[in-house]
Amino acid sequence: MSQTAVVDGAPGSGEDALGHTGSVATRWLGVVVLIGAVALLAFGLVFSDPDVIQGDAVRLMYVHVPSAICMYLGVGALGLGSAVWLKRQTEFWDLLALAGAEIGALFTALTLLTGMLWGRPTWGVFWVWDARLTSTALLQVMLIGYLALRKLPGDATVRARRASITGLVIVLDLPLIHYSVEWWRTLHQGATISRLDPQIDGLMLFSLMLGIVVGALTFVWLMIHRFRLAHLEEQVEDRGLDAALDARRAEADRPPPAGDTPLVRTSP
């Protein structure tokens, strides 16, 4: 699953491959995630019992809750990366923000999707205008906007500055959105897990916890790979630039063709 970045025709470098997004550690992490996912499937679909009220739909929670947590982790990485970049202006924090936004957007979509699939049998509708759903949908749109902004070509520093200010606005806006929507619509159901009273059956709680651990590990795995991929992309960009510079320099060093005056030399 790891990707390799290759530069075509980069002069002066013996090896073309820049590197991999994977390493020994992430490969082991990947193996652990896969085993965890199988275990989660077994506990979520087979070992745990259906809920008294929600029936089999409760099994979606073992994916939905971890997705929501990973969504917050991604947004946290986006906020942290954006804020620190504005102070330090180093590539690391910019790429952390990018990886956080992209992986965060993925998990936001997963959260919305699993939530809707759960809502249909439980509430009878795919969507209700509840505070959490609404603010999650807005978060999704804002992350898409952020990623669209990042896709635009341009100078790396300029792009990073724009992106980090936008990222910070998104993170600052989230509490405003949350409170305004909650105030607007207060019919949502409260959090079940944070109370941790024995409303949840032992095996169900275990499945949920397993889901959270597997989800968090998946998040870490994805973040590392996305971060490294972004880093390699930057290097490819740099190498491409170096190659172009070298080519122009070589051109300038070459003597002009006979019969041609240096002043009107045309480029090939």
Partner 1 sequence: MWREFRLIAGKDLRIEARSRVVTNQILPFALLILVLFAFAIDPDRGLLARVTGGLFWIAVLLATVLAVQRSFGLEAADGNRDGLRLAGLEPGAVFLGKAAAIFVQLMALEAVLLLGVAVLYTADLGEPLLLLTTSVAATAGLATAGSLYGVLAAGLRVRETLLPLLLLPVVAPVLIGATQGFESALARTPGEGWPWTGLLVVFAAIYTVFGILAFGPLLEEA
Q: Is 123 in the site for partner 1 (CB under 8 A)?
A: no
Pick from 158, 244, 247, 250: which binds partner 1 (CB under 8 A)? 158
- If the CB atoms of residues 128 and 149 are measured against partner 1, the closer one turns out to be 149
Footprint on residues 60-119 left by partner 1 (CB under 8 A): 86
d(CA 168, CA 210): 32
Instruction: Choose between 38 and 169: whose C-beta lies nearer to partner 1.
Output: 169
Considering only residues 165 through 204, tell me which ones interact with partner 1, judged by CB under 8 A.
Answer: 165-166, 168-170, 172-173, 176-177, 179-181, 183-184
Residue 156 interacts with partner 1 (CB under 8 A): yes or no = no
Kindly tell me which of 43 and 146 has the beta carbon lying closer to partner 1: 146
Q: Phi/psi of residue 5, each to 5°?
A: -100, 130
Q: Which of 10, 18, 149, 220 forms a contact with partner 1 (CB under 8 A)?
A: 149
Nearer to partner 1, 20 or 178 (CB): 178
Residue placing its CB nearer to partner 1 in the complex, 20 or 159: 159
Confirm if 82 and 104 have CB atoms less than 8 A apart: no
Residues that bind partner 1 (CB under 8 A): 86, 138, 141-142, 144-146, 148-149, 152, 155, 157-158, 161-162, 165-166, 168-170, 172-173, 176-177, 179-181, 183-184
